[in-house]
Amino acid sequence: MLELMKRRTIDLLVEQFWKRGYLTVSRKFGTYLPEPSKIGKFDVDVIAKYKNNFAIGITLTNEDMGDALIIDRLNFLATRQTKYTNKKVLLFIGVPSALFGNAKIIVEKLEPEARKNIRLFPINEQPVVQRKSSREKRTTLFS
């Protein structure tokens, strides 16, 4: 059950990347894409690319917000640069809607250099309601 919730939050984060024109290069729980490698000593959920610009995506949970090393983790990931061109890499952070205010407070505590590279998004964890298809709605009058 926990893995299913984590997969859903990563899917919602990937949707945020797609809305901004990014293509997913690697992601956790992906069917066809490889799993992203660790950056430094930290796990990441998504790596994406828009033209020649890269972005890292992570999702934060309630346990992550209470972690003492969260500020170090965010500072480290937000100040990454590409290997050869030294372009800054954006950090997309997906946070459940209930924790969004706390996440903004944590981001404000970061260094100004790191704060510029962070994009914070609320993730709505509401279950998806499936609609009946138009075929299922029709009733058969004659058979």
pLDDT bin (cut points 50, 70, 90) of residue 141 is low
Q: Pick the residue with more confidence: 112 or 143?
A: 112
In DSSP notation, the chain reads -HHHHHHHHHHHHHHHHHHTT-EEEEETT-SSSPPPPPBTTB--SEEEEETTEEEEEEE--HHHHT-TTHHHHHHHHHT-B-TTT--B-EEEEEEEGGGHHHHHHHHHTS-HHHHHTEEEEEE--PPPPPPPPHHHH---S--
Tens of pLDDT along 105-138?
999 988 888 899 999 989 876 555 555 555 566 6
Give the model's pLDDT for residue 68.
Answer: 82
pLDDT at residue 61 tops 80: yes
Which CATH number does 2-137 carry?
3.40.1350
pLDDT bin (cut points 50, 70, 90) of residue 49 is very high
